A and B are shown apart, each in its own frame.
Chain A
Amino acid sequence: DTEVTQTPKHLVMGMTNKKSLKCEQHMGHRAMYWYKQKAKKPPELMFVYSYEKLSINESVPSRFSPECPNSSLLNLHLHALQPEDSALYLCASSLSQGQGEETQYFGPGTRLLVL
């Protein structure tokens, strides 16, 4: 089983709204990732959590706030987004970030539209 689930599948929000994206995996993976993907572009790394601690923040604006409540869950809290933040938000997980355990498996993504 290499399943990563994400909810919601689609989200439309205004620039003053607060919303959250959720990601879940039950593979025992200890590293989880958020990526942003614009149309016809590759995924861009936003955040990495390793053993429930934030290990990488790729200079993401503070209107995106990640949270890892436990080893199976990863959230992305959204507040005061801009229309240019509209994109597909992908969650991924890997066994760890250690040698031989880096293979990342992706969820289906949340398609976000900011109006």
Chain B
Amino acid sequence: GENVGLHLPTLSVQEGDNSIINCAYSNSASDYFIWYKQESGKGPQFIIDIRSNMDKRQGQRVTVLLNKTVKHLSLQIAATQPGDSAVYFCAGLLPGNQFYFGTGTSLTVIP
């Protein structure tokens, strides 16, 4: 079936380093993607989104890159902080206007 998946289930980074979380998708019809951050015991929090007419979008300390050729997107977090520790999900919009979520990457920031 259609899916949006992540390459690595866990990622540990040193505080202050940059983090890169990857996501692959299978449906080339997906034209809108969102990255969510979910802290323990909380609901997913919107971080940043990107549409298929763009290949890069920047927010505060975060950048999303979209490569439609290889159906891959990534989330880059600059100067990672302990408060960035969470599970990160990518979600892709499919025909029918439903989002499908990746399996999630657990980011741990080491002080």
Report A's interface with B, CB cutoff 8 A: 2, 4, 6, 40-43, 45, 48, 56, 90, 97, 102-109, 111
Contact = CB atoms under 8 A, between A and B. Distances in A.
A18 to B, nearest CB: 25
9 contacts: A42-B103, A102-B99, A103-B49, A104-B99, A106-B45, A108-B42, A108-B43, A109-B42, A109-B43
Nearest to B31: A99
B97 A105 contact: no
Interface of B: 32, 34, 36, 41-46, 49, 89, 91, 93, 96-99, 101-104
Nearest to A108: B43
A97 B46 contact: no
Contacts of A111: 41
Nearest to A31: B97
A56 B99 CA distance: 12
B98 A56 contact: yes
Nearest to A109: B43
Contact of B46 (A40, A90, A103, A108): A103
Given A42-B104, A103-B34, A90 B44 contact: yes
B34 A90 contact: no
A107 B104 contact: no
B49 to A, nearest CB: 6
A97 B99 contact: no
A2 B46 contact: yes
Contacts of B97: 97, 102
